[in-house]
Amino acid sequence: MLPNTQQIFQNIQNQEPNQIGFPSMQRGIPKTQTQQIKSYKRVIENVYVSDEELRQGEGDFDLNLKKAKYFMQQDSYKDAIDSLKKAIEQNPNQIQPYLLLGESFRSSQKFEEGLKYFEELEIKNPKIDVVTSEKAKFMCELNKFQEAIEIFKEIEEKNPSNNTFFSYWAFAHNCIKQHDFAIYYSREGQKADPYDWFAPYNLGYAFLKKNRIGTAIQFLNEAQEVEEKIEISLALGQAYLENQEFFIAEDLFQRAIDNNPSCSYLPYYYMAITQKQLKKYDEAFEHISFADDLNPNNEDIQKLKAEIERLK
C-alpha cells in the first residue's frame, strides 16, 4: 500500500512556510535488511512473464494477475491497470487485485479516474470492503479527508480485522490536525504492512506536531530507511536546521530537491534558509529565486529573498 507522494506533499505545500515548523531532531535508527523492502513491490518482485504469456490476449485470472505484477515491476501502469481490471472481472472475490489496481492508478497520477472506477465498482460490489476503502483512499488523494474518514470508520465498524487502509486513515487525521487518532491508526497500519514507509512517516509527523521529538525521530528515520521520500527529507532537514546542524540539513534539502516530482517550492525555500546560515549567499539567492518562481507573491519568500540579496 503505497500512497502517492506528490499529492501528499502538495497538502503540506498548501501551508505557509512558517506554519510548518519541526522541532530539533537527530538521526537514529540504523538500516536493516528488512527495512529496505518496499511495500507493494514485495508482491511483484522477481515476477517473470514469458513472451508467449505476454502475447496471450485475455488469459485466466492467474495469468492476468501475474502479468499485472510484471507490468507494475516495469512501471507500465497502463498495462497493469488493464490486466487488473480483467482479473477483477474474472474473480471479484480476490482482494489483492483491488489493492494493486488502486496502487497502479495512484502511481500513474490518475486520481479522478481511480475514484470514478472504484465508485462504479462499488455499485456492482457493495459488500466488498476493499472496494470501498480504495475509493476512500482516492478521496484522501483529492483532499476529501473528512469524507474519507467517515468511510474508513464505517468499514472498520463492519469488519474490525480489515486494516489494509489504516495508514491512509492516519494520513487523513494528520491532515485535519487530529494527531492522536493519526498515531493510533498508524500503529494499526504497521500491523498490516510492517515494511510500509507511510505508517512510520505518519507516526513521526504526528509526534512532531505533539512535540514528542525523541519518538518522532525514530519513526521518521524508520520511514526514510524504508524508502526515500521528499516529505521525509524535508521534515528531517527542518529538524537539523532547527538544531543548527546546517550541513546535514543542506544535504537533506538537496535530497528533497532531487526528488521533487510536484515541483514544490518548499525544498528550495528551506535550502535558501540553510545556505544563508552557512553564508553561501549566491547559492541561497539562487534557491530562493527558484522558490519565488514556483510560488510568487509569497510574503515569507519575498522577505527572505530581500534579506539574502542584501547580504550578497
Tell which residue, 101, 105, 92, has the closest CA to residue 61. Answer: 92
Read off the pTM: 0.74
HSE-CB of 208 using CA atoms within 13 angstroms: 26
- Which CATH superfamily groups domain 245-311? Tetratricopeptide repeat domain (1.25.40.10)
Distance CA 188, CA 199 (A): 9
Helix (H, G, I), strand (E, B) or coil at 301: helix
pLDDT in tens, the chain (312 residues): 344 444 444 444 444 443 333 322 222 222 222 222 234 444 556 776 776 777 777 779 999 999 999 899 888 999 999 999 999 999 999 999 999 999 999 989 899 999 999 999 999 988 899 999 999 999 999 999 999 999 999 999 998 888 889 999 999 999 999 999 999 999 999 988 888 899 999 998 898 888 787 788 888 889 999 888 888 998 888 778 878 889 999 999 999 999 886 788 999 999 999 999 999 999 999 999 999 999 999 999 999 999 999 998
Q: Where do runs of H (alpha helix) occur along 193-296?
A: 198-209, 213-226, 230-242, 246-258, 266-277, 281-294
Distance CA 284, CA 304 (A): 10
Give the pLDDT confidence score for residue 47 in this predicted structure.
73
Tell which residue, 157, 158, 159, 164, has the closest CA to residue 136. Answer: 164
DSSP, res 89? H
Q: Supply φ then ψ for residue 167, to 5 degrees.
A: -65, -35
Helix (H, G, I), strand (E, B) or coil at 121: helix
Query: By the 8 A CB rule, do 217 and 204 touch?
Result: yes
